């Protein structure tokens, strides 16, 4: 940054020739991930449905409790499980030479791109159910916020470890410091 405009450069960039964030071939999550997502979302919906059914059954009548549970199953648990499957199948990620990106969302679609030079740290995470399905997630953090800036779901343990090591090599690196993936 200079003062008073001395030495200030403002070369025009041909935007049309820049690498495009669209049209990148995305890697899907491993096949176990949709099953995991359906299980978790469905189980959550089922638990909520059973709780409501039990409450109605105890407070009003057992028959109405059964009706509430059935209605909850059809209106909450099944749609949630379907949402879980759609979310997992629509999820995609890609590692480019200079950034990592994810595509998430069923109705509200979000494409997030994080330049590799911005990576502050990387966490390999998994809960017990994820481990049961053999799937791992990788959380990538930049200085932009306190929460995970980008999460790659549905990785095998080996692949998650390899991607993590690749990303970690960029922490504190200058641009052009690597040959890419």
Partner 1 sequence: MTALESAWRTLSPWAALPAALGMLRPQALVQALPGLVPIVALVANVEAIGLREVGVGLLGLLALLAVYAVAWQRRFRYRIDERSITVQRGVLQRSEVELGWERVRNVDVRQPFYFRPLDRVALIVEGSGGAEEEVAIQAVDRELAEGVRESIASHQRVATVVDDGPSAATAAAVDHAPAQAVLHQPSTGEILLHGAINGRAFALLLAGIGALFSAGQPLLQETDVLVDVAETVTEQVIALGVAALVLAVPALLVLSVVLVVVSALIALVRFHGFTLWRDDDRFRLRHGLLESRERTLRTSKLQAVTVVETAVGRLLGRCHVLAHQASSAEEGVGEGNDGTAEVPALTAGTVQPLVARFDPAYGRRPPLAAIEGAFLRFWVTRLAGVLVAVGAAGLGALAVWGDASTALLITLAVLLVVAVAAVAWAVHRRWRHWGWTTDGDVAHVASGLLGRRWESFRLNRVQQVTLRRTPFQRRHGLATLAVSLADGDRQVPFLHEADARALANLALFVAEARPHREL
CB of 1 to partner 1, least distance (A): 5
CA–CA gap between residue 118 and residue 169 (Å, rounded): 12
* Of the candidate residues 39, 112, 151, 156, the single one contacting partner 1 (CB under 8 A): 112
From residue 122, give the alpha-carbon distance in Å to each of 21, 27, 95, 127, 170: 22, 19, 14, 17, 10
* Of the candidate residues 87, 149, 153, 155, the single one contacting partner 1 (CB under 8 A): 149
Rg (CA), the chain: 22
Q: Which two tokens stand for residue 61?
A: 């009548």
CA–CA gap between residue 34 and residue 29 (Å, rounded): 8
CB of 172 to partner 1, least distance (A): 9
- Pick between residue 109 and residue 158 the one whose CB is nearest to partner 1: 109
β-pair type (99-104, 27-28): unpaired
CA–CA gap between residue 153 and residue 138 (Å, rounded): 7
Q: Which stretch binds partner 1 (CB under 8 A): 26-34, 71-79, 116-124, 131-139?
A: 116-124
If one asks whether residue 180 binds partner 1 (CB under 8 A), the answer comes out as: no
Q: Which of residues 20-79 bind partner 1 (CB under 8 A)?
A: 20-22
DSSP-based three-state secondary structure for 16: helix
If one asks whether residue 98 binds partner 1 (CB under 8 A), the answer comes out as: yes
If one asks whether residue 12 binds partner 1 (CB under 8 A), the answer comes out as: yes
* Of the candidate residues 24, 91, 99, 160, the single one contacting partner 1 (CB under 8 A): 99
Q: Which two tokens stand for residue 76?
A: 């909450």
If one asks whether residue 179 binds partner 1 (CB under 8 A), the answer comes out as: no
- Pick between residue 36 and residue 93 the one whose CB is nearest to partner 1: 93
Give which of 173, 165, 167 is closest to 117, Cα–Cα.
Answer: 173
Count of residues that interact with partner 1, criterion CB under 8 A: 42
The residues of the shown chain that bind partner 1, judged by CB under 8 A, are: 1-5, 7-13, 15-16, 18-22, 98-99, 107-118, 142-146, 149-150, 174-175
């Amino acid at each position: 940054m200079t003062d008073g405009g001395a030495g200030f450069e403002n070369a025009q960039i041909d935007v049309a020739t820049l690498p495009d964030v669209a049209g990148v071939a995305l890697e899907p999550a491993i096949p176990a991930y949709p099953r995991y997502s359906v299980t978790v979302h469905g189980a959550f919906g089922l638990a909520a449905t059973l709780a409501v059914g039990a409450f109605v059954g105890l407070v009003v009548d057992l028959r109405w409790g059964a009706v509430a549970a059935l209605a909850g199953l059809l209106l909450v648990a099944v749609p949630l499980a379907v949402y879980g499957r759609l979310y997992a199948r629509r999820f995609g990620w890609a590692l480019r030479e200079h950034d990592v990106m994810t595509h998430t969302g069923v109705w509200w679609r979000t494409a997030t791109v994080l330049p590799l030079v911005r990576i502050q740290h990387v966490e390999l995470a998994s809960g017990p159910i994820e481990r049961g399905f053999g799937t791992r997630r990788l959380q990538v953090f930049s200085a932009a916020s306190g929460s995970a800036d980008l999460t790659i779901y549905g990785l095998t343990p080996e692949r998650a470890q390899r991607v993590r090591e690749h990303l970690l090599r960029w922490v504190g690196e200058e641009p052009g410091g690597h040959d890419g993936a």
